[in-house]
Copies of this chain bind each other. A is one copy, B any other.
Amino acid sequence: MGKLVIVGSVNIDSIETPFGSAERIPGGSAPFIGLAASYFQVDSCIISVVGDDFPKDFISLLHSRGIHTDSIDIKEGEKTFFWAGKYHNDMNSRDTLVTELNVLADFNPIVPEAYADAEVVMLGNLHPDIQLSVIEQMKNPKLIVLDTMNFWMDHTLDELLRVIKKVDVITINDEEARQLTGEYSLVNAAKKIHEMGPKFIVIKKGEHGALLFHNEEMFYAPALPLAEVFDPTGAGDTFAGGFTGYMARTGDYSFENMKTAIINGSALASFCVEKFGTDRLVDLSRSELHKRLQQFKNLTQFDIELT
């Protein structure tokens, strides 16, 4: 069974969408990544920090999904990272209403001894120095995957570039890829990012799917067109969790296998948005996942006859 180390935030979120609102629900990159990866029966470990206001039963729930949770540090007398946001009608843009770092401000990640030999590492969106510290604690990682965002490009670019240099895969959205490289064409942006370090570049385009670049090779994973998007929070993290979960289980870090990993990530992300927060990732059955993977196959397969 492949081991997967996940570092990321564990939040309390308040979310408002055109369909309703949810007050102070569990969220953060790490739970979405961990729950998505749990569909691949990997031995995963979440490294994070919360305050004593964080619901204990949610940590139990993560644990019941086979996730090692002792490495989630619970700070007595302190408060969990809190985020509040409101999605616009098109669900593609949102306003952040509140960000309270709280315990995350002094987060010092410790990789447990039993997981320092994990082959796959998923670095959720955090300060690049925290991500770097996790990389340095790993003994012999085979696949380090980085998620980040424009905030770190704006405020801690040098630190971010040091992390980017050390990872195998970067997942980034299209606007961030353009910002990071100054290239409008995603093909050219991927080339420049490749020169910064990562051998594989995943560019996420939201409702338009995701592109995987590796040297001269490309793969285009569609997003499943959906009638309703209920809550997009965590979709990118869910994608990353499905991706790394699949990679950790198969232990095959080739471009070909990565295509399948991306489809698995996309399929899980398409479920994530159907309910608030992590709700849909918790009640999903394996047969539902299989059915959706088949939908992705149907969505993209075609015959060509060269005449």
Q: How many residues of A contact B (CB 8 A)?
A: 42
In the complex, whether A225 has a CB less than 8 A from a CB of chain B is: yes
Most chain B Cβ neighbours within 10 Å, of A221, A290, A302: A302
Establish whether residues A299 and B225, one from each chain, have CB atoms under 8 Å apart when the complex forms: no
In the complex, whether A143 has a CB less than 8 A from a CB of chain B is: no
Establish whether residues B185 and A304, one from each chain, have CB atoms under 8 Å apart when the complex forms: no
- Name the B residues within 8 Å of A228 (CB-CB): 185
In the complex, whether A144 has a CB less than 8 A from a CB of chain B is: no
Give Cα distance in the complex from A303 to B301, angstroms: 11
Q: How far is the CB of A265 from chain B (nearest CB, A)?
A: 12
Establish whether residues B220 and A299, one from each chain, have CB atoms under 8 Å apart when the complex forms: yes
Nearest to A262 among chain B residues (CB) is B302
- Name the B residues within 8 Å of A211 (CB-CB): 225
What per-residue 1/0 map shows which CB atoms of A221-240 lie under 8 Å from chain B?
11001111100000000000
Q: How far is the CB of A225 from chain B (nearest CB, A)?
A: 5
Give Cα distance in the complex from A176 to B69, angstroms: 49
In the complex, whether A208 has a CB less than 8 A from a CB of chain B is: yes
Q: Which of A282-307 contact B (CB under 8 A)?
A: 290, 293-294, 296-306
Chain A interface mostly helix, strand, loop or mixed? mixed
Give Cα distance in the complex from A259 to B186, angstroms: 25
- Name the B residues within 8 Å of A294 (CB-CB): 304, 306
- Name the B residues within 8 Å of A218 (CB-CB): 225, 298-299
Give Cα distance in the complex from A184 to B115, angstroms: 45
Give Cα distance in the complex from A297 to B220, angstroms: 10
Give Cα distance in the complex from A297 to B260, angstroms: 15
Establish whether residues A300 and B220, one from each chain, have CB atoms under 8 Å apart when the complex forms: yes
In the complex, whether A90 has a CB less than 8 A from a CB of chain B is: yes
In the complex, whether A15 has a CB less than 8 A from a CB of chain B is: no
Q: How far is the CB of A239 from chain B (nearest CB, A)?
A: 15
In the complex, whether A215 has a CB less than 8 A from a CB of chain B is: no
What per-residue 1/0 map shows which CB atoms of A169-191 lie under 8 Å from chain B?
00000000000000011111000
Establish whether residues A263 and B185, one from each chain, have CB atoms under 8 Å apart when the complex forms: no
In the complex, whether A83 has a CB less than 8 A from a CB of chain B is: no
Establish whether residues B90 and A184, one from each chain, have CB atoms under 8 Å apart when the complex forms: yes
Establish whether residues B219 and A220, one from each chain, have CB atoms under 8 Å apart when the complex forms: no
Establish whether residues A184 and B259, one from each chain, have CB atoms under 8 Å apart when the complex forms: no
- Name the B residues within 8 Å of A91 (CB-CB): 184
Establish whether residues B184 and A225, one from each chain, have CB atoms under 8 Å apart when the complex forms: no
Q: Which of A212-270 contact B (CB under 8 A)?
A: 217-222, 225-229, 256, 259-260, 262-263
Establish whether residues B185 and A260, one from each chain, have CB atoms under 8 Å apart when the complex forms: no
Establish whether residues A225 and B259, one from each chain, have CB atoms under 8 Å apart when the complex forms: no
Most chain B Cβ neighbours within 10 Å, of A91, A259, A262: A259
Known: A185-B225, A222-B222. 6 other contacts (CB 8 A): A185-B226, A218-B299, A220-B299, A260-B303, A260-B304, A260-B305
